[in-house]
């Protein structure tokens, strides 16, 4: 990495910390003065302000302590929030490369010197370990005795809730098989277009928010207003086409106003502008840090702009998106439910029953997911089946449970799924 690139990274990182003061707690504890060479002195002053009980780290206070007019340049170089994770990673990478280069020079000195190697190797090993600790989370390695309290608490919750410890979908048979949407899991819901996957997502997110769980929805296909119209249809039982066209009577209007009042109080957030993994990751990190997200939904992964990787095809780029979502759900420790289309190959088969191999252009999504659920409605493909309300959630992969079919009824007028009564 050349000097100008390193300087730009440092400038953008510092500029971001000044422009977005609310994110200082996220990054400053993870940064060190050694991460900055071109702005080393300025960062030391910024860090001192951050740790001060009397003054805060902001543009005004840092400007008073700056020896030149760097501050304005830093503010102008501040990146968008969606880019900061990438800038932070590159900054730390450049810092660790410098440390390794210094270590390489020391090793060369030892090999060319006259002192016994065994007298020097210990110090070199310590320096390498320090670099490794900056790269890897060594604290994640726990002794089993330190895990017992968490295990006992988990087992107690299982016993009290009769196995349902995650956030419920609201469909009894589905929840009985999955134990609800559990923290740190990535769940894929796949289906062909017009089968009902977005309706299923809306029902699950609505059930989550009704129960008081902080719920975030990223809609890459539908606008927020259209999402809310579908929500109202499910809540009121009024056909969504009539809501879309404004064809409802006075009594139904009163019912909608009542539901709108309830919806206004729910912990539900909808975003219809984010279309990159960096932007979604940043927003989820921020929401979780603010304790405003217990579960996240994405509709749908095929609409994400994959990262540009030189010399890579679309399949590999989507594999990187899948890997980043898998990493994200572990770091945030929330369930992330991702919708995905199935490929057209299903239309050429005699049996239209979907399988996880039908996930389209999703790279390693099938491998990265903890659970893969496929939505199937036979009458969508074969009119002789007749009954469009017959639907099945096919659990085709589940790390902690069996593969099983969950039969439900689908209301084509409101988009709501119902438990089947036997």
pLDDT at 18 over 80: yes
Asked whether residue 111 is domain-assigned, the answer is: yes
State how beta strands 186-191 and 215-219 pair: unpaired
Nearest Cα to 302, choosing from 235, 195, 221?
Answer: 221
Could you give the CA distance from residue 391 to residue 253 in angstroms, rounded to a whole number?
30
Specify whether 227 is located in the same domain as 84: no
Specify whether 49 is located in the same domain as 178: no
Nearest Cα to 168, choosing from 203, 219, 220, 118?
Answer: 203
Residue 211: other Cβ atoms inside 10 A: 14
Question: At 233, is the pLDDT very low, low, confident or very high (cuts 50, 70, 90)?
Answer: very high
Asked whether residue 143 is domain-assigned, the answer is: no
C-alpha neighbours within 13 Å on the C-beta side of residue 161: 16
The answer to whether 103 touches 95, Cβ cutoff 8 Å, is no
> What confidence tens digit (pLDDT) does each residue in 148-162 have?
887 787 777 766 766
Specify whether 17 is located in the same domain as 104: yes
Domain final residue, candidates 137, 154, 176: 137
> What residues contact 306, with CB distance under 8 A and at least 6 apart?
277, 314, 317, 318, 320, 321
Asked whether residue 155 is domain-assigned, the answer is: no
Could you give the CA distance from residue 215 to residue 206 in angstroms, rounded to a whole number?
9
The answer to whether 391 touches 406, Cβ cutoff 8 Å, is no
Specify whether 345 is located in the same domain as 287: yes
> What confidence tens digit (pLDDT) does each residue in 322-344 have?
888 888 888 888 999 999 888 87
Asked whether residue 55 is domain-assigned, the answer is: yes
Specify whether 324 is located in the same domain as 267: yes
> What CATH number did the domain enclosing 26 receive?
1.10.860.10
The answer to whether 218 touches 305, Cβ cutoff 8 Å, is no
Specify whether 241 is located in the same domain as 357: yes
At 400 the pLDDT is 81
Asked whether residue 145 is domain-assigned, the answer is: no
Specify whether 110 is located in the same domain as 251: no
Q: Residue 203 in 3-state DSSP? A: helix
- The DSSP 8-state label assigned to residue 394 in this structure reads E
Joined tokens for residue 341: 């289309």
In this prediction, residues 404-419 reach a mean pLDDT of 91
Joined tokens for residue 330: 């572990």
Question: At 80, is the pLDDT very low, low, confident or very high (cuts 50, 70, 90)?
Answer: confident
Domain final residue, candidates 137, 153, 180: 137
Specify whether 174 is located in the same domain as 128: no
> What CATH number did the domain enclosing 361 receive?
3.40.50.300
> What confidence tens digit (pLDDT) does each residue in 36-73 have?
998 888 888 889 989 888 888 888 888 887 766 677 77
Specify whether 191 is located in the same domain as 331: yes
**Pure H helices in 51-169:** 59-65, 70-77, 84-112, 121-135, 148-160
State how beta strands 371-376 and 336-341 pair: unpaired
Question: At 195, is the pLDDT very low, low, confident or very high (cuts 50, 70, 90)?
Answer: confident
Specify whether 40 is located in the same domain as 101: yes
Domain around 310: 162-419
Number of domains in the chain: 2
Could you give the CA distance from residue 147 to residue 46 in angstroms, rounded to a whole number?
38
Specify whether 387 is located in the same domain as 350: yes
Q: 269 has which bridge partners?
A: 216
Q: Over pLDDT 90: what percentage of the chain?
A: 22
Average pLDDT, the chain: 83
Specify whether 133 is located in the same domain as 171: no
Joined tokens for residue 26: 């996220």
Sheet strands side by side (includes 268-271): 268-271, 215-219, 295-299, 336-341, 186-191, 371-376, 390-398, 404-411, 416-419
Asked whether residue 220 is domain-assigned, the answer is: yes
Asked whether residue 153 is domain-assigned, the answer is: no
Asked whether residue 154 is domain-assigned, the answer is: no
Residues in the chain: 422
Report CA 384 to chain centroid distance, whole Å: 41
């Amino acid at each position: 990495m050349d000097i100008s690139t390193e300087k730009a990274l440092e400038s953008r990182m510092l500029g971001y910390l000044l422009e977005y003061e609310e994110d200082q707690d996220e990054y400053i504890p993870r940064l060190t003065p050694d991460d900055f060479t071109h702005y080393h002195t300025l960062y030391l002053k910024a860090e001192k302000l951050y740790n001060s009980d009397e003054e805060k780290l902001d543009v005004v206070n840092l400007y008073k302590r700056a020896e030149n007019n760097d501050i304005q340049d830093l503010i102008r170089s501040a990146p968008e929030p969606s880019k900061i994770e990438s800038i932070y990673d590159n900054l730390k990478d450049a810092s660790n490369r410098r440390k390794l280069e210094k270590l390489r020079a020391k090793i060369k000195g030892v090999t060319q010197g006259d002192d016994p190697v065994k007298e020097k190797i210990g110090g070199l090993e310590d320096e390498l370990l320090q670099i490794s600790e900056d790269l890897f989370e060594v604290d994640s390695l726990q002794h089993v005795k330190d895990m017992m309290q968490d295990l006992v608490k988990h087992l107690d919750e299982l016993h009290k809730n009769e196995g349902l410890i995650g956030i419920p979908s609201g469909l009894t048979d589905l929840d009985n098989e999955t134990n609800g949407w559990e923290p740190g899991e990535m769940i894929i819901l796949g289906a062909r277009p017009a089968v009902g996957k977005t309706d299923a997502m809306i029902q699950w997110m609505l059930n989550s928010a009704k129960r008081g769980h902080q719920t975030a929805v990223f809609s890459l296909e539908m606008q927020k207003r259209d999402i809310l119209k579908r929500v109202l249809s499910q809540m009121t039982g009024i056909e969504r086409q009539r809501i879309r066209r404004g064809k409802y009577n006075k009594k139904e209007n009163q019912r909608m106003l009542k539901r709108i009042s309830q919806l206004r109080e729910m912990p539900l957030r909808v975003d219809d502008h984010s279309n990159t993994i960096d932007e979604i990751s940043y927003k989820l990190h921020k929401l979780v840090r603010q304790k405003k997200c217990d579960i996240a939904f994405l509709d749908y992964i095929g609409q994400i702009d994959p990262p540009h990787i030189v010399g890579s095809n679309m399949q590999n780029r989507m594999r990187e998106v899948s890997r980043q979502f898998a990493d994200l759900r572990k770091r945030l420790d929330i369930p992330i439910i991702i919708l995905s289309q199935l490929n057209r190959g299903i239309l050429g088969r005699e049996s239209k029953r979907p399988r996880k191999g039908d996930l389209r252009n999703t790279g390693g999504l099938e491998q990265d997911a903890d659970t893969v659920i496929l939505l199937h409605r036979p009458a969508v493909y074969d009119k002789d089946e007749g009954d469009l309300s017959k639907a099945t959630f096919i659990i085709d992969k589940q790390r902690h449970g069996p593969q099983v079919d969950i039969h439900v009824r689908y209301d084509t007028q409101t988009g709501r799924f119902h438990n089947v009564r036997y």
